[in-house]
Structure 1
Amino acid sequence: MATLDRLYELYNVISDAKEDAGKHEKEFSEILTGVKGGAGERRLSSQFIAKFFKYFPNQQETALNALFDLCEDDDVSIRKQAIKDLPSLCRGRLELVPKVSDILAQLLQMEDPGELSAVQSSLVALLKTDSKGTLTGLFYQIQNSEDELVRERCARFLHGKVKTLGSDIFTPEIETLIVTESKKIIQSETTEEEFVLMMGILRELKSLQNSKGYLQMVELVAEQINLEKPLDITELENVHRFVSCMKTALPYFSPNVRSTLFLEYMWREIVPSIPAIEVAAGKDHPNVVLDLLKILAELVVNMGALDDVSAKVTLIYQRLLEVMPVPPEGDAATEALEGGVSLEFSRCECLLFTFHKLAKQVPEFLTEDEGKLKDFRTRLQYFARVCQAYQKRLREAIANKKGEELKTEENKIKLIALTTTANINSLIKDLFHQPPSYKALITLSWKPVKSLHVRSSSGAVNGAQKRHAPITFDGSNPNPKHAKGDRQIYAPPRDKYSARAGQYFGGSRGSRSRGRGFGSRGGFRSRGGYRGSGRGRF
């Protein structure tokens, strides 16, 4: 076993030989024995093996295994040294890249931040040496590792580097490889988190950032959901997985990539079952229905021709009436309003927007039944006046706040609430036309906006519209002086505005999804929790 002094002697012999270094295989073999010595010997052996590796092809496997052993050393500093030295073995020996990449991919399970950073740096060095070979090792682990943490970190590493390393590394040929391998993973059994991660990798590829690429992304989601198969809502996890899948698909719908098939699926499997889903969700998952309604509202923006639109309008109208109550009468109305009215503003925005989009195709739905229209407008008027009272309270809460003050979570929610109520009022105003109109254009409150200002020159506050005079049943606006007095009895609603409304849905339920998925190819998979190095020999 070589000592420190002996290692330096061996180094000098091989180094001084220059072009004839390969003739000193005996000396190199002795350097390899240093990996069994003390801490100093092991660290020095790692450096010398990396430096002279290329001269001794006959010792290749022994030298590789020696460095692999050092990557699992008890001393963290030695592990870092060996990890740092591994990429240098591949210079001029590209056939070794997949093997070294595979080992480094397994080492991504390390918990020490410094050590994990060293592994990532070495993988980046390999990507710059041979991106195809490096990806071979990474994808092998994503597809085959029994360690969930390894699979996840490999995917996260790849996602981050696709974003930052650019087209010099990720050429069109390499992007094609990533697409092919990612589809293999997505189309097999996969966990919910892995599915989202792989879709995130594909999203960053330049070759897919066009209508044709978006269509591919949407088709992958459709396969994962399996739009031909009924959704078993008795298991709430199935609903959560559906939400997660749809979250990945929504950014890709456009006039060129229609959402029609997904809408048909939701009307068949989700919309009729909302009350049952609500019961199944209970208090543990209070926002799952709101998540679904937001998906529905976003899908109708880019829908194509739907089957039996009249039946769909009828169903969404029923759901809408559930959140738009008939106003109470007499003393009960006064007592209720003075005590604070509790209404589902976030759900109402989703449902009213969806109804507005669909009813435009069936304008006779409201006009053919005078009693229905009268009842609906009574509900709309009540809801609109409560919205206006709520807006007043919200404006007072953020008055004189600017800059950093408006960036607190509480104030962000208030700004979104202002947009929600302004959207509802805009849609209601449209429906109060004679006959009802469907011309209002709004941006859904949870969608990003360019900027939010405390007050614009037109008097709008924080991106919301000006206050409207109360909407009356006959569609006219009363005298503003009387309107102010009328509004005083309307106390603002309490507790029913979703604090999560601006965050949208999915992705943070506290644990990874488990269980079988809902695809013809097996859907999301449940995988074991084995944790270990899993290092194999090649």
Structure 2
Amino acid sequence: MPTVEELYRNYGILADATEQVGQHKDAYQVILDGVKGGTKEKRLAAQFIPKFFKHFPELADSAINAQLDLCEDEDVSIRRQAIKELPQFATGENLPRVADILTQLLQTDDSAEFNLVNNALLSIFKMDAKGTLGGLFSQILQGEDIVRERAIKFLSTKLKTLPDEVLTKEVEELILTESKKVLEDVTGEEFVLFMKILSGLKSLQTVSGRQQLVELVAEQADLEQTFNPSDPDCVDRLLQCTRQAVPLFSKNVHSTRFVTYFCEQVLPNLSSLTTPVEGLDIQLEVLKLLAEMSSFCGDMEKLETNLRKLFDKLLEYMPLPPEEAENGENAGNEEPKLQFSYVECLLYSFHQLGRKLPDFLTAKLNAEKLKDFKIRLQYFARGLQVYIRQLRLALQGKTGEALKTDENKIKVVALKITNNINVLIKVTSDIKEFFFHCCSSYHYRQKRASEDTTSGSPPKKSSAGPKRDARQIYNPPSGKYSSNLSNFNYERSLQGK
């Protein structure tokens, strides 16, 4: 084993040789043997080996293996030095191997070391993006779980930081090709990360690119298979996939396939859905997603059948008025629950799909069913007006900090929801105009949930006209609001509650 003095002497021989450095193979071998020495010798070897690596191609394997030994040393300072120098080995056919090694090193628990690995990977990415991706995807497909997890997270966070000259069209095509291989077997979290990776690629931000992503999500969601509402994993997979698909839909990229599946397979089983997510109102979550997708639904094969399913589900959440006893009081002991959030989602979805079949209410329903619908609608509207008055009274005069309490935040959101429903019901009351009413008159906001729905600030004024290719996004309710409102006690206030 060489001493520190011997390492410095042979380093001097190589440094002074200039263009003839390749003739001093023995001197370089002494430096390679430094990895077998003590702490001081290893630190010097970690610096000297990469410096002269390119001059000795016949010793490339030995040099990389020696540096890799140093990357796995017990001394953290030696590991850090060795990792920092690894990009110098990333030349020609060696680059994919270096990328593979660095990807494996992502499993380190030392934060400084982890940052060095990230920086080294980014460095060689800029040298050869395709070669680096080869090493990364090799470990994602075949590496240990911790390496796979961190390699995916590296791609999801670092790709967007790379310049356009690195992420060329060919590189993006390679990312898509390799991602499809990984998507054949992924967890829910991994799927979300890969959708983040792919949706950030320039080549997939076009209409055809978004359509390609929707098809990928649909395949992941197993929309060709019969839905099993009692299988929590099946339910969770569908919701995860649909959440990823929703931002991709537009007037040119239709949600028809997803909306059809929800209407035919999910709505009929709404009450029997199971979920592994504790505390999640799974029924409301499904209805919110359906409402968001309904704006971009194209031509549907079984439109009338699916409208009937939506209509029947809507009736379930719009109760009939309670029967009156002789004394004018309710004959039943319990007052019907008015499920405002459910109705908001269903009414909106029903309206959006019904615009494609405007005679559904008047020509496709018999007189008795239409009369029943009107009665339920009027009863629900009366209860809604009471709740709106109660909310306004409770929020009257409150500004600033007073609106930031949990209770008042809920009331602010509830007021927005009930106002949404109120507009929908007013339109619905005129059956002939129901499916022709312009969506822009609704209180549905075009911004997604990133807008703070609990803010007490007044809404911004909209521009004179819609922007080109503006997407009308349904902003779903952020909570579940119900109220036990009596048919005969419409002037109750929130005082004393």
Identify the TM-score tier after normalising by the shorter chain: 0.7 to 0.9
Q: Is residue 2:324 matched to residue 1:323?
A: no
Aligned with 1:254 (options 237, 240, 250) = 250
Q: TM-score, normalising length from structure 1?
A: 0.77
Structural RMSD (CA): 3.2
Aligned with 2:212 (options 208, 212, 216) = 216
1:132 shift after superposition: 1.2
Report the counterpart of residue 135 of structure 2 in structure 1: 137
1:393 and 1:34 map into 2 onto residues whose CA distance is: 81
Q: Is residue 2:116 matched to residue 1:122?
A: no
Report the counterpart of residue 155 of structure 1 in structure 2: 152
1:389 shift after superposition: 4.3
Q: Is residue 2:283 matched to residue 1:289?
A: yes
- Any stretches of 5+ residues in structure 2 without a counterpart? 463-474, 476-487
Q: How does 1:325-344 map to 2 (within 5 A)?
A: 325-328=319-322, 329=324, 330-332=328-330, 343-344=338-339
2:63 and 2:256 map into 1 onto residues whose CA distance is: 58
Report the counterpart of residue 351 of structure 1 in structure 2: 346
What code does the residue aligned with 1:68 have?
A: L
What code does the residue aligned with 1:346 have?
A: S
Report the counterpart of residue 167 of structure 1 in structure 2: 164
1:121 shift after superposition: 0.4
- Larger RCO: 1 or 2 (CA < 8 Å, sep 6+): 1
Report the counterpart of residue 61 of structure 1 in structure 2: 61
Q: Deviations over 1:324-367 (max 9, x none)?
A: 22233543499977xxx854322221111111223334444434
Measured at CA, do residues 123 and 151 of structure 1 come closer, stay the same or move farther in structure 2, by a change above 3 Å? same
Q: How does 1:173-212 map to 2 (within 5 A)?
A: 173-186=170-183, 188-212=184-208
Q: Verify the 8 A CA contact 1:420 1:444 in the aligned structure 2.
A: no
Q: Deviations over 1:113-142 (max 9, x none)?
A: 222111100000011111111111111111
2:492 and 2:405 map into 1 onto residues whose CA distance is: 31
What code does the residue aligned with 2:189 have?
A: E
Q: Is residue 2:420 matched to residue 1:426?
A: no
1:199 shift after superposition: 1.9
Q: Verify the 8 A CA contact 1:385 1:490 in the aligned structure 2.
A: no
2:89 and 2:83 map into 1 onto residues whose CA distance is: 11
* More divergent stretch after superposition (11-20 vs 439-448): 439-448
Measured at CA, do residues 322 and 72 of structure 1 come closer, stay the same or move farther in structure 2, by a change above 3 Å? same
Q: Verify the 8 A CA contact 2:340 2:417 in the aligned structure 1.
A: yes
1:490 and 1:295 map into 2 onto residues whose CA distance is: 33
2:47 and 2:461 map into 1 onto residues whose CA distance is: 69
1:112 shift after superposition: 2.1
Q: Is residue 2:88 matched to residue 1:88?
A: yes
Measured at CA, do residues 144 and 415 of structure 1 come closer, stay the same or move farther in structure 2, by a change above 3 Å? farther
What code does the residue aligned with 2:343 have?
A: C
1:226 and 1:241 map into 2 onto residues whose CA distance is: 9
Measured at CA, do residues 272 and 434 of structure 1 come closer, stay the same or move farther in structure 2, by a change above 3 Å? closer
* More divergent stretch after superposition (325-334 vs 46-55): 325-334
SS at match of 1:270: helix
1:149 and 1:8 map into 2 onto residues whose CA distance is: 39
Q: Deviations over 1:425-451 (max 9, x none)?
A: 111111112545231523657933767
Q: Verify the 8 A CA contact 1:80 1:115 in the aligned structure 2.
A: yes
Q: Verify the 8 A CA contact 1:14 1:24 in the aligned structure 2.
A: yes
Report the counterpart of residue 237 of structure 1 in structure 2: 233
Q: Deviations over 1:94-121 (max 9, x none)?
A: 2111000001111111222222111100
Q: Deviations over 1:170-226 (max 9, x none)?
A: 01121121122112222x222222222222211011011110101110111122223
Report the counterpart of residue 492 of structure 2 in structure 1: 489
Measured at CA, do residues 387 and 235 of structure 1 come closer, stay the same or move farther in structure 2, by a change above 3 Å? same
Q: Verify the 8 A CA contact 1:225 1:245 in the aligned structure 2.
A: yes
Structure 1 vs Structure 2: percent identity of aligned residues? Answer: 43
Report the counterpart of residue 449 of structure 2 in structure 1: 448
1:383 and 1:440 map into 2 onto residues whose CA distance is: 23
1:342 and 1:414 map into 2 onto residues whose CA distance is: 18
Q: Deviations over 1:453-479 (max 9, x none)?
A: 74549999xxx9xxxxxxxxxxxxxxx
What code does the residue aligned with 2:113 have?
A: E
What code does the residue aligned with 1:304 have?
A: G
Report the counterpart of residue 469 of structure 1 in structure 2: none
* More divergent stretch after superposition (312-321 vs 342-351): 342-351
1:490 shift after superposition: 6.0
SS at match of 1:257: coil
Q: Verify the 8 A CA contact 1:386 1:490 in the aligned structure 2.
A: no
Report the counterpart of residue 366 of structure 1 in structure 2: 361
Report the counterpart of residue 100 of structure 2 in structure 1: 102
Q: Verify the 8 A CA contact 2:35 2:66 in the aligned structure 1.
A: yes
2:412 and 2:87 map into 1 onto residues whose CA distance is: 51
1:421 shift after superposition: 1.7
What code does the residue aligned with 2:281 have?
A: N
Measured at CA, do residues 155 and 405 of structure 1 come closer, stay the same or move farther in structure 2, by a change above 3 Å? farther
What code does the residue aligned with 1:120 have?
A: N
- Any stretches of 5+ residues in structure 1 without a counterpart? 465-484, 495-538
Measured at CA, do residues 457 and 291 of structure 1 come closer, stay the same or move farther in structure 2, by a change above 3 Å? closer
1:73 and 1:286 map into 2 onto residues whose CA distance is: 47
SS at match of 2:17: helix
Q: Deviations over 1:64-98 (max 9, x none)?
A: 011111111112222111111100122xx221110
1:231 shift after superposition: 2.0
What code does the residue aligned with 2:448 have?
A: K
Q: TM-score, normalising length from structure 2?
A: 0.83
What code does the residue aligned with 2:285 have?
A: D
2:459 and 2:246 map into 1 onto residues whose CA distance is: 34
* More divergent stretch after superposition (389-398 vs 199-208): 389-398
Q: Deviations over 1:305-329 (max 9, x none)?
A: 2223222222112211222222335
Report the counterpart of residue 309 of structure 1 in structure 2: 303
Measured at CA, do residues 130 and 361 of structure 1 come closer, stay the same or move farther in structure 2, by a change above 3 Å? closer
What code does the residue aligned with 1:217 have?
A: L
Q: Verify the 8 A CA contact 1:426 1:440 in the aligned structure 2.
A: no
Q: Deviations over 1:237-268 (max 9, x none)?
A: 10100111111111112221212222222222
1:411 shift after superposition: 6.2
